[in-house]
Structure 1
């Protein structure tokens, strides 16, 4: 089924109704990736409260904030869902750290991208293997690189269709929805962290800074993607 056909079937459906329509198309071939960011918590709420049969997975890089792990536990308790966990390949990670050290990602963009590849990209490829649809919490305003995306698109690199149910939501709308629905979210979001990744690579955003200024802050703005949502140029 093409991106255009899926868009037509989804139509003007929103939230849980959209997810249910997607599962009806691909009953066992839909996955949702959560990093326990505030957007992901909304989608988890829709899946959990409506008993929607979407497989949920997360990538545990081994360097997440303690607040993220705490929210992970709270999420499991609240929704009683199975969240499949993928971790870095031990051999790849051991080799990388042995050769370049534990903090080499600060030294060059190449090292940082290699760290992301080992801790995120390779586990992701295992997580989505054999699936047709990948649900994400991406929003268009999150970075310059995401303005050219659409809420349903074909990921040429990974060979999968991606759907972003919150694509046109603003950060304020996301926060308001979570508060109105009492959805648990990472306390770091209230401490200046709109985007939360690995602890060594994320800092709070200062007033007036870009949304993703806190991610890989030592790098050029245009390079601030880990590769999970890369597109062919």
Structure 2
């Protein structure tokens, strides 16, 4: 009885094993289905090529005419070395002359404004006095006018400041010519060098008196002649 049961178990196991093998051999393979690739429907933009034609410009299908600015470049090139400049001194002198011409000043008025550029001679006078007093002052605005006084070309007053009051020196007269020079050393702050002088003898008699308007370096001269 035990032998018969064992035989049935063995046959059942063999049949089950063969069934599994047949089922594996008879399986059907399902082929893989390839998925469709996505299609990019976005329109592609192709960059436009630059237009090298500088004469006519095209915008789409419209022709745009060239516009002229009407401004032409200067034909003459600027050169610093090619230009000629005037003398600043000559330009200033010309402007001054033009201003004087416009104001129509007389020569006397021009001299009074700028001072005489030539030596002034105020004459010669006779005197039998032993001495004279020579005095001078600034007849205009006291602005620092300076003079030098010479007698017969010898310096007797080296540097004199002209103020509003008369001051001077005593001069012993020599027989013959006694030349007195008043030399303008400057023109003060406002110019010209302005002064008034007087020559009075030892008896109180006025020998000579006058005024000057001098530029720097110009002199005024009088001569006293003693017999």
Q: Which has the higher strand share?
A: 2
Larger Rg: 2
TM-score when normalising by structure 2 = 0.22
More helix by share: 1
Name the TM-score, length of structure 1 as normaliser: 0.22
